[in-house]
């Protein structure tokens, strides 16, 4: 199977992550900071990331990103390798899948991934020999024909419960190492699937790690910083822990005239006789480097760093960090957006467990990604901060955001988007320590309202909802006695300012704070649960809530979803009896609930008031505005969605990009809807000019909500009509008969619900 790359060049200098992307395009957010492997081919440097590959063209100073939504077939990379026989870069994955990149084409060999063989299938090494590519996993070796794109043979050394660490083809033999055993066989033997043809040599007290071929000799590296030269069945020590101040991160790489020793914060370049000739301990602007891998080419060293990406190093005064502007880390839990801003949390919020994840939060204020963690923030330094799981932006101050965690530093605020400026704990705020007795204070969710007040969910406390007002005052809100000291996960606001809170196992609490927020005496609360007179939900195990554009409350549970129409009314009506509705469909003569008992993880509303429903095991669903029609479903089998297990979704309503957090990382999908505007003063048309061979259609954005749109040619003939989804309309660039339109200039006219009127000319596009 192969896929062709039309055009995905990303400038290392002028990369703009907020440029308009094509409608219905998927994007995978790759962590470009940590490089796990490097390979070189024809002036191209291939860097293996944890979840993708980027290819840097030295001559053109450009990079091409390869990911699961841009032509690769899988996610987690374990190894890369280049060879000149087919001029390809081979990509091995942790699940045994294998791709190879040849020019602009990616081909896939899924033999190992699809096999029913048990064991760790992660690709640990590649090698080329006599027109064949070999790839090893923990229990065997594949022999592949790169021209026919097929597996020719499989080899199984007598591992006896041990795992393959590395292999090398040297002379007429193939050598394989496990922790303390060296296996060898004749590489030309056609029966290497039979264990009896393998020789076994036990290397006592040697924890083997990698093998290297250097100047016609075979070397074996150990985990204790030792290097042995192997010859005629014997090991001779050539390097014995000379550099050993950080053995857990020590790697050895053969160079053209010596060796490179990579330690935690430095690199030692050695002569053939292992005398040091160069010492690398800083890069341009980086004084505490974290090198991981090393490659030499044309007198320069290419360093793969664990934190700052790819480094080109000539000497201490001539080097540069080539870092693409993607996610700082690969751990993701939740996502929040406001206008052109996006925040992604790297922690985990759970009811009883603690992951102690210190990945922090990744914030993009419209230009570039910035990492906020306890190592680069002075307010967090040396503090027990971990499991950051929520973030919200203040609409009154566009650079202000707040983050919440389950730790000793539960709430932090940045006012200028550069540094964390204020931290709140139980000692300087109304936040309460958890009743679990572990000393932690929980902030599971938070949200700014339109006036800049910050609403904070503080579970396992006597009053789980706290308010930090725009005037910087703390207020405790009552959410009824039944929710005191309980677990809480979500908070949403409706268009009338009411608060809706999720208490799993209890229900949804609605709160009307009356005319003021600091006077709680006039507050009204209601609980929505599975009782027949207070909601009739399918279960109290609730995961998600969303308020649509008509103030209807959508509730996602472990057993499907339900809708509370005109939700604010239950907070003002004297009657306390109400029922949530479930959508029923007739299917094969039976009446069933839409989505049945599917576990719902999140719900979002797009600019056209359509409902996007995320699930824990069935992917993503799009429902019509009234919820009575299933418009589309997305799974890992029918779309580029990387996993059916989705934990969080969030719209950027300005662009119509839907961010999707899965157990395999963050992806986004450009939907054909966005937030409606109050006028037509900032409409945009893209792509413009339009080339049919590069795009599937033309988008106009920035329209008023539900505008009627028509397209005319230069002579005024109407060639297309539609209604916008919120503020976005899409034209597939076909005429009434489904034919490709002729080249020329076309005009867009829009008006609220007046398709037959003249409307206002809001844009034009040139079609080639």
* pLDDT tens figures, 378-391: 999 989 998 999 99
pLDDT in tens, 8-18: 333 332 233 33
Shared-domain flag, residues 209 and 253: no
Shared-domain flag, residues 113 and 178: yes
Shared-domain flag, residues 415 and 341: yes
Shared-domain flag, residues 270 and 201: no
**Phi, then psi, of 248 in degrees rounded to 5:** -70, -25
**Percent of the chain at pLDDT above 70?**
95
Residue burial 426-461, b: 16+ Cβ < 10 Å; e: rest: beebbbbbbeeeeebbbbbbbbbbeeebbbbbbbbb
Q: Is residue 617 part of a domain?
A: no
**Residue 74: predicted pLDDT:** 94
Shared-domain flag, residues 250 and 365: no
- Whether the per-residue pLDDT at 396 is higher than 90: the answer is yes
Q: What six digits make up the tokens of 128? A: 């080329």
Its sign, for the CA torsion 277, 282, 285, 289, is positive
CATH number for the domain harbouring residue 147 = 2.130.10.10
pLDDT-derived band at 248 (thresholds 50, 70, 90) equals low
Q: Whole-angstrom Cα distance, residue 548 to residue 609?
A: 6
**Phi, then psi, of 334 in degrees rounded to 5:** -140, 165
Q: Are 405 and 443 in contact (CB under 8 A)?
A: yes
Q: Whole-angstrom Cα distance, residue 569 to residue 9?
A: 53
Q: What DSSP state is assigned to residue 725?
A: B
Q: What six digits make up the tokens of 214? A: 């250097």
Shared-domain flag, residues 89 and 105: yes
Q: Which of 325, 347, 370 is the last residue of a domain?
A: 325
pTM of the predicted protein model: 0.87
Shared-domain flag, residues 219 and 255: no
Shared-domain flag, residues 319 and 376: no
The single residue listed with the structure tokens 């039976």 is 590
Pairing of strands 401-407, 411-414: antiparallel
Q: Is residue 62 part of a domain?
A: yes
Q: Are 642 and 72 in contact (CB under 8 A)?
A: no
pLDDT in tens, 619-638: 999 999 999 999 999 999 99
The single residue listed with the structure tokens 């605020």 is 413
Sheet holding 150-155, edge to edge: 125-129, 132-136, 141-145, 150-155
Shared-domain flag, residues 368 and 280: no
**Residue 451: predicted pLDDT:** 95
Q: Which of 253, 71, 238, 122 is nearest to 640 (CA)?
A: 71
Q: What six digits make up the tokens of 297? A: 């080419």
Q: Is residue 675 part of a domain?
A: no
Residues 6+ apart with CB under 8 A from 161: none
Shared-domain flag, residues 283 and 380: no
Q: With H, G, I as helix, E, B as strand and everything else as coil, classify residue 418.
A: coil
Partnered with residue 49 across adjacent β-strands are: 35, 52
Q: Is residue 462 part of a domain?
A: yes
Residues 6+ apart with CB under 8 A from 219: 211, 212, 213, 227, 228, 229, 230, 238, 254
Q: With H, G, I as helix, E, B as strand and everything else as coil, classify residue 759.
A: coil
pLDDT in tens, 252-263: 999 998 999 998
Beta strands in 9-120 (DSSP E): 9-11, 26-28, 35-41, 44-49, 52-57, 62-66, 77-83, 88-93, 98-102, 105-109
- Whether the per-residue pLDDT at 411 is higher than 50: the answer is yes
Q: Which domain holds residue 433?
A: 327-477
**Residue 15: predicted pLDDT:** 32
Q: Which of 477, 509, 535 is the last residue of a domain?
A: 477
Q: Whole-angstrom Cα distance, residue 179 to residue 177?
A: 7
CATH number for the domain harbouring residue 315 = 2.40.10
Shared-domain flag, residues 235 and 247: no
**Residue 62: predicted pLDDT:** 87
**Residue 243: predicted pLDDT:** 55
Q: Is residue 382 part of a domain?
A: yes
Q: Whole-angstrom Cα distance, residue 276 to residue 264?
A: 17
Q: Is residue 671 part of a domain?
A: no
Q: What is the mean pLDDT of the chain?
A: 90
Q: Which of 282, 308, 325 is the last residue of a domain?
A: 325
The single residue listed with the structure tokens 């000379």 is 242
The number of domains in the chain is 4
Q: What DSSP state is assigned to residue 685?
A: E
Q: Which of 408, 419, 488, 485 is nearest to 455 (CA)?
A: 488
CB atoms within 10 A of CB 312: 19
Shared-domain flag, residues 350 and 395: yes
Q: Are 380 and 348 in contact (CB under 8 A)?
A: no
Q: Is residue 633 part of a domain?
A: no
Q: Are 295 and 58 in contact (CB under 8 A)?
A: no
- CA gyration radius, the chain: 29
CATH number for the domain harbouring residue 712 = 2.60.40.10
Altogether, the residues listed in the chain come to a count of 768
């Amino acid at each position: 199977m192969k896929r062709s790359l039309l055009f995905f060049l990303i400038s290392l200098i002028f990369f703009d992550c907020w440029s308009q992307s094509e409608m219905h395009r998927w994007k995978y957010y790759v962590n470009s900071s940590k490089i796990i492997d490097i390979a070189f081919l024809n002036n191209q440097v291939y860097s293996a990331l944890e979840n993708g590959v980027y290819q840097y063209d030295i001559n053109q100073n450009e990079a091409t990103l390869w990911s699961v939504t841009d032509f690769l077939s899988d996610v987690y990379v374990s190894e890369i390798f280049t060879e000149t026989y087919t001029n390809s870069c081979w990509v091995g994955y942790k699940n045994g899948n294998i791709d190879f990149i040849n020019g602009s084409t990616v081909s896939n060999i899924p033999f190992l991934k699809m096999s029913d063989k048990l064991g760790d299938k992660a690709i640990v090494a590649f090698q080329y020999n006599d027109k064949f590519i070999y790839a090893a996993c923990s229990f065997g070796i594949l022999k592949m024909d790169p021209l026919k794109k097929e597996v020719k043979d499989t080899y199984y050394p007598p591992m006896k419960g041990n795992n393959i660490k590395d292999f090398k083809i040297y002379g007429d033999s193939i050598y394989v190492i496990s922790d303390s055993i060296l296996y060898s066989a004749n590489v030309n033997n056609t029966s290497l699937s039979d264990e009896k043809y393998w020789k076994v040599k036990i290397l006592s007290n040697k924890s083997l790690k990698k093998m290297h071929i250097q100047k016609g000799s075979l070397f074996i590296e150990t985990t204790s910083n030792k290097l042995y030269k192997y010859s005629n069945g014997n090991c001779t020590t050539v390097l014995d822990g000379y550099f050993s101040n950080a053995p857990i991160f020590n790697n050895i790489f053969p160079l053209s005239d010596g060796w490179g020793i990579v330690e935690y914060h430095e690199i030692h370049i050695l002569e053939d006789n292992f005398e040091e000739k160069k010492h690398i301990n800083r890069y341009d602007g980086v004084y505490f480097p974290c090198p991981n891998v090393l490659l030499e080419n044309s007198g320069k060293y290419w360093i793969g760093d664990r934190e700052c990406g790819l480094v080109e190093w000539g000497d201490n005064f001539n080097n540069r960090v080539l870092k693409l502007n993607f996610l700082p880390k690969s751990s993701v839990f939740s996502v929040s957006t406001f206008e052109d801003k996006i925040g992604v949390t790297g922690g985990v919020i759970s009811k009883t467990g603690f992951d102690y994840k210190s990945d922090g939060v990744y914030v993009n204020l419209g230009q570039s990604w910035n990492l906020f963690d306890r190592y680069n923030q002075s307010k967090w330094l040396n503090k027990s901060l971990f499991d950051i799981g929520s973030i919200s932006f203040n609409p009154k101050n566009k650079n202000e955001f707040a983050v919440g965690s389950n730790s000793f530093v539960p709430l932090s605020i940045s006012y200028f988007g550069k540094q964390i400026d204020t931290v709140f704990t139980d000692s300087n705020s109304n936040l309460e320590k958890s009743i679990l007795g572990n000393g932690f204070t929980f902030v599971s969710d938070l949200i700014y309202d339109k006036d800049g007040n910050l609403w904070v969910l503080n579970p396992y406390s006597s009053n789980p909802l706290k308010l930090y007002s725009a005037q910087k005052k703390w207020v405790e809100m009552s959410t009824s006695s039944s929710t005191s000291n309980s677990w809480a996960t979500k908070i949403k606001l409706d268009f009338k300012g009411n608060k809706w809170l999720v208490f799993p196992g209890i229900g949804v609490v609605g709160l009307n704070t009356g005319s003021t927020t600091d006077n709680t005496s006039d507050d009204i609360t209601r609980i929505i649960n599975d009782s027949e007179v207070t909601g009739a939900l399918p279960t109290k195990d609730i995961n998600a809530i969303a308020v649509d554009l008509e103030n209807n409350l959508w509730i996602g549970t472990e057993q499907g979803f339900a809708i509370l129409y005109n939700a604010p009314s239950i907070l003002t009506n004297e009657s306390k009896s109400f029922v949530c509705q479930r959508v029923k469909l007739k299917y094969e003569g039976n009446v069933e609930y839409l989505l049945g008992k599917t576990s719902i993880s999140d719900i979002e509303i797009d600019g056209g008031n359509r409902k996007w429903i995320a699930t824990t095991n069935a992917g993503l669903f799009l429902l019509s505005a009234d919820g009575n029609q299933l418009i589309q479903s997305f799974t890992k089998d029918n779309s580029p969605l990387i996993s059916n297990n989705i934990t969080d979704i969030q719209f950027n309503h300005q662009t119509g990009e839907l961010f999707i957090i899965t157990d395999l990382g963050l992806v986004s999908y450009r939907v054909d809807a966005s937030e409606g505007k109050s006028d037509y003063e900032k409409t945009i048309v893209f792509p413009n000019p339009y080339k049919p061979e590069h795009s599937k259609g033309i988008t106009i954005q920035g329209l008023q909500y539900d505008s009627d749109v028509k397209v005319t040619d230069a002579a005024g003939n109407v060639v297309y009509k539609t209604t916008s989804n919120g503020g976005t309309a899409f034209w597939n660039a076909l005429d009434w008969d489904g034919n490709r339109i002729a080249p020329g200039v076309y005009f867009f006219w829009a008006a609220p619900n007046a398709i037959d009127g003249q409307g206002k000319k809001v844009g034009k596009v040139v079609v080639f």
